[in-house]
Amino acid sequence: RNEDSSSSGHCLVLSRLANAVTPLWRLPYQEQLQVKYESQRKTLQTLTSRLEELGVDAQKPGGLCCPLQPVVPSPIINGYRNKSTFSVNRGPDGNPKTVGLYVGTGRERNIVCVKANHLENIPSKHKQVAQCYEEFICQSPLDSCILFHEGGHWRELVVRTTRCGHTMAVITFHPQQLGQEALATQKALLKEFFTCGPGAVCALSSLYFQESTMTRCSHEQSPYQLLHGAPHIFEELLGLRFRISPDAFFQVNTAGAQVLYQAVGELCQAAGDTVLLDICCGTGTIGLSLAHQVSKVIGVEVVEKAIEDAEWNAAFNGISNCEFHSGKAEAVLPQLLASWEDARPLVAVVNPSRAGLHYRVVRAIRNCRAIRRLLYISCKPEGEAMRNFLELCCPPDPRKKLAGEPFAPMMAIPFDMFPHTVHCELVLLFTR
């Protein structure tokens, strides 16, 4: 009976993780798409109502501010993620060095770390690297770092893979009071395990190590240290080759990104004399994939290493009509657009994080008369992006320095970049 109880408890915690990370995993895929369509419809209904409150005559036939297209399905439904982040914490069996994903909340003090072997959106290669990392830290005399103030060292693992067959692993380590000699020993052991030991089965293309005393840490704050292999991995998309650094943004579903970028290219309606403004450009994937359609691409991105990748990507692919600017969009863009005198048509594509665009970015876009067409790609349109939509479409407001003519939503197309989850990538086309 004890064995039955233990097995039942194990199955329960696996289901809890699957339900938390991939809530739609039990539904047939077509039903998942319908659930997402209804969710996006509610988002547009909210946007329509909010615009009406601002005095904008937004309601079109069908009751929405613009037509909502069916959800574009993902070409790959299972194991589609090219990047996974695994935590290290106490597992259901009490093992403090379990590598997996969290179930529970800090408030209720019931967090456990559960292995992700059963999750359908994570590819087998990522699960293999996570299992090997757990094997390594379980052999280590050093503790896992569950709470910073309680000590311990071994922290999260990021795995990135590409369709070219490359695998990058990035291991975060809290140095605590260890000296340089002790740190060098740990790095040597880690390298040996993944190159000559049991971890060699992972065939890593790149193994990185980062010492971090913070929850999240950029390369500038604490450099990624290459322990083994090449400094970058490579991906091919729409006939181009892209270089990817440890912390550079790249759409998590590569096959889905290909479909998305093709649609973005069509929606831009960019003629040969168009200038494309690619805001939050990451490694330049959108701008570079559309460079052949336009006269010039201008990319803006906060992550310096991503800009280095974007410039390399442009040069490697023989693309000479792109320029990339490193820095926060709210600092770079107003300066760039304030002095804009180019007579060529200007189309903007924005692809921000879930936090949306900074108000100064929206204001710079609104106040630049040359921008008549804007594509907003949002992974969470019901969140902070909603604020951006309203700022783009509201009547001119001198108090907020929104002097430019408002935009109007013309079309919404959801793309399923995250099968089995409730999330969707929504592309909203605005014109004025």
What Rg, from alpha-carbon coordinates, does the chain have? 23
In the predicted model, what is the mean pLDDT of the chain? 92
Give this prediction's pTM.
0.90
Average pLDDT of the segment spanning 1-24: 75
Q: Which listed residue (66, 113, 268, 379) is catalytic?
A: 379
The answer on 271 and 408 residing in a single domain is: yes
pLDDT greater than 80 at residue 106? no
Lowest mean pLDDT among 227-241, 264-278, 334-348: 334-348
Task: Please tell me the predicted confidence (pLDDT) of residue 253.
Answer: 97
| Known catalytic membership, residue 368 | no
DSSP 74: P
**DSSP-assigned beta bridge partners for residue 84:** 159
Is position 384 within any domain?
yes
Instruction: Find, among 357, 283, 354, the residue nearest to 82 by Cα.
Output: 283
Is position 33 within any domain?
no
Q: What is the CATH number of the domain that holds 421?
A: 3.40.50.150
Task: Please tell me the predicted confidence (pLDDT) of residue 6.
Answer: 55
Please give the annotated binding residues for S-adenosyl-L-methionine, written as ranges.
251, 301, 351
Q: Which of 181, 215, 230 lies at the terminal end of a domain, its last residue?
A: 230
Distance, CA of 261 to chain centre? 15
Is position 146 within any domain?
yes
Task: Please tell me the predicted confidence (pLDDT) of residue 362.
Answer: 94
Instruction: Find, among 271, 294, 265, 298, the residue nearest to 284 by Cα.
Output: 298
CA dist., res. 156 & res. 152, Å (int): 12
The answer on 339 and 194 residing in a single domain is: no
Is position 4 within any domain?
no
pLDDT tens-digit profile of 159-208? 999 999 999 999 999 999 999 999 999 999 999 999 999 999 999 999 99
Task: Please tell me the predicted confidence (pLDDT) of residue 134.
Answer: 98
Which positions ≥6 away from 346 have C-beta within 8 Å?
Answer: 274, 275, 277, 340, 368, 370, 371, 372
The answer on 395 and 362 residing in a single domain is: yes
pLDDT tens-digit profile of 118-136? 999 999 999 999 999 999 9
CA dist., res. 326 & res. 369, Å (int): 24
The answer on 223 and 135 residing in a single domain is: yes
Under the banding of pLDDT at 50, 70 and 90, the label for residue 218 is low
pLDDT greater than 70 at residue 5? no
The answer on 206 and 262 residing in a single domain is: no
Amino acid at 302: V
pLDDT greater than 80 at residue 377? yes
pLDDT greater than 80 at residue 402? yes
pLDDT tens-digit profile of 48-73? 999 999 999 888 888 899 999 999 99
The answer on 102 and 203 residing in a single domain is: yes
Q: What is the CATH number of the domain that holds 221?
A: 2.40.50.1070
Is position 266 within any domain?
yes
Give how many domains the chain has, as a whole number.
2
How many CB atoms lie under 10 A from the CB of residue 422?
A: 12
Task: Please tell me the predicted confidence (pLDDT) of residue 192.
Answer: 98
Structural domain including 290 reads 253-431
